[in-house]
Amino acid sequence: MSYELNEDQLQIQDLVRRVAREKVAPRADEIDRTAEYPHDMYALLKELGLFTLPFPAEYGGTGSLLSACIAVEEFGRVCYNTGYLLVVQWIPFGAILAGGTAAQKERWLPGLASGDLRGALSLTEAQSGSDVSGIKTTARRSGDGYLLNGAKIWCTNSHIADFILVAARTVDEAGNHTGINLFIVERTTKGLTIGREEDKLGARGVPSCPLFFDDAVIPLDARLGPESGEGFKITMEALNSSRPIVAARAVGLAQGAIDHAVEFIQNRVAFGQNVSEFQGMRWMLADMVMKTEAARQLVYRTASMVDAGASGKELAKMAAMAKCYASDVAMQVATDAVQMFGAAGISSEYPINRYFRDAKVVQIIEGTNQIQRNIIADCVLGRAKSKR
């Protein structure tokens, strides 16, 4: 399968690379340091019309996951948080596109595409992160809708989102559990409280908060798909297909760490010569570049498979490999880059420690790398698991 970039993709790469260097890079350190949501970066992405990039032309997109990966890679190279603004918007878009009714699509997708609306996804609870089946939040049928009760943690973007896709265990009027479902919950819903922002090691520019539901009233038509849980499965599969986007962010992060390391070792002098002349440094750099390129190829190939129509189990192994490998590479490359900086790598005066901290996040989010390895092994050994 070919994944050579076409003319459109090369143009996207060129545009985003230029914008990232000129407008995003100068803000990246400040966003990380202050941990304040970057409204200016959101406005920039909105102006560029990038919120619809991976989606079909009818929403103004390219219909190409590879194009989306390229854009995220270029932003991730200079500012993890700005890349995150795209990904956090694409997740609810992809979920509603895959599992929503015509009315739900009409209500939410144009706003998400233009950037006039923002969304978030909330699965994780205190006792259930990797094991989604352990969700305890309930949606109990009541009159014309549901009453939502429970608590969530780590919901990124929830402080500013217009709506949150919330996973809850549905319970019928007789008290029987009928499956896990996703609900489109407006942030202003009575009975929903957004808690205090986490003080995070990385991904600091896009806040993550706990959510508390206390008899929050949700209309029936806010449920995504049939109550049997079919909608949840469809949505989760759609989210699995978009996993290469997370992997692309890791590739960009690794490349950005290399960019900084190259500049540093070419200017730093020790024992009367540039640090870049030491064989120990040169080989370390060569390994960083090799692994990053290998990760990039894996991510591009996986995204190309999605663009060619691959889905389900056919894609699951590749998507898990891309996410796991690219984020492990990003962590390793960022760690080696810090080493190349010496003590300067530990100082907040240099940007490299930001890459190190953000890389750790990618190994954990969107299904930890242990879970990705489980998926890969299950695919190879012929078992199918539903865990993220």
Ligand X SMILES: Cc1cc2nc3c(=O)[nH]c(=O)nc-3n(C[C@H](O)[C@H](O)[C@H](O)COP(=O)(O)OP(=O)(O)OC[C@H]3O[C@@H](n4cnc5c(N)ncnc54)[C@H](O)[C@@H]3O)c2cc1C
Q: How far is CA 146 from CA 2, 95, 214, in A?
A: 47, 20, 12
Within residues 116-135, the interface with ligand X by CB under 6 A covers 121-124, 129-130
Residue 71 as a binder of ligand X (CB under 6 A): the answer is no
Q: Name the residue among 327, 351, 328, 329 with its Cα closest to residue 264.
A: 351
Q: How far is the CB of 158 from ligand X (least distance, A)?
A: 8
Strands 177-186 and 163-171, sheet pairing: antiparallel
Beta pairing partners, 128? 125
* Both structure tokens of 209: 């908060």
* Residue 137 CA neighbour count, 13 Å, CB half: 32
Tell me which of 69, 203, 236, 338 binds ligand X, using CB under 6 A. Answer: 203
Q: Which amino acid appears at position 133 of this protein? A: S
Q: Using CB atoms within 10 A of its CB, is residue 191 exposed (0-12), middle (13-18) or buried (19+)?
A: middle
Q: Using CB atoms within 10 A of its CB, is residue 2 exposed (0-12), middle (13-18) or buried (19+)?
A: exposed
Q: How far is the CB of 57 from ligand X (least distance, A)?
A: 28
- The pattern of x and - marking residues 134 through 153 that bind ligand X according to CB under 6 A reads --------------------
Q: Which amino acid appears at position 208 of this protein? A: S
Residue 155 as a binder of ligand X (CB under 6 A): the answer is yes
Q: Using CB atoms within 10 A of its CB, is residue 29 exposed (0-12), middle (13-18) or buried (19+)?
A: middle
CA distance 351 to 346: 10
For ligand X, the closer of residues 236 and 303 by Cβ is: 236
Tell me which of 365, 375, 376, 379 binds ligand X, using CB under 6 A. Answer: 365
Residue 374 as a binder of ligand X (CB under 6 A): the answer is yes
- Which of 73, 74, 125, 366 is catalytic? The answer is 366
Among 21-29, 200-208, 218-226, 328-336, the segment contacting ligand X (CB under 6 A) = 200-208
Residue 240 as a binder of ligand X (CB under 6 A): the answer is no
* Residue 117 CA neighbour count, 13 Å, CB half: 20
Instruction: Clarify whether 186 is annotated catalytic.
Output: no
Residue 361 as a binder of ligand X (CB under 6 A): the answer is yes
For ligand X, the closer of residues 9 and 158 by Cβ is: 158
Residue 364 as a binder of ligand X (CB under 6 A): the answer is yes
Tell me which of 156, 170, 189, 353 binds ligand X, using CB under 6 A. Answer: 156
Q: How far is the CB of 137 from ligand X (least distance, A)?
A: 11
| Catalytic residue annotation | 366
Q: Which residues lie near ligand X (CB under 6 A)?
A: 121-124, 129-130, 154-156, 200, 203, 208, 361, 364-365, 368, 370-371, 374, 388
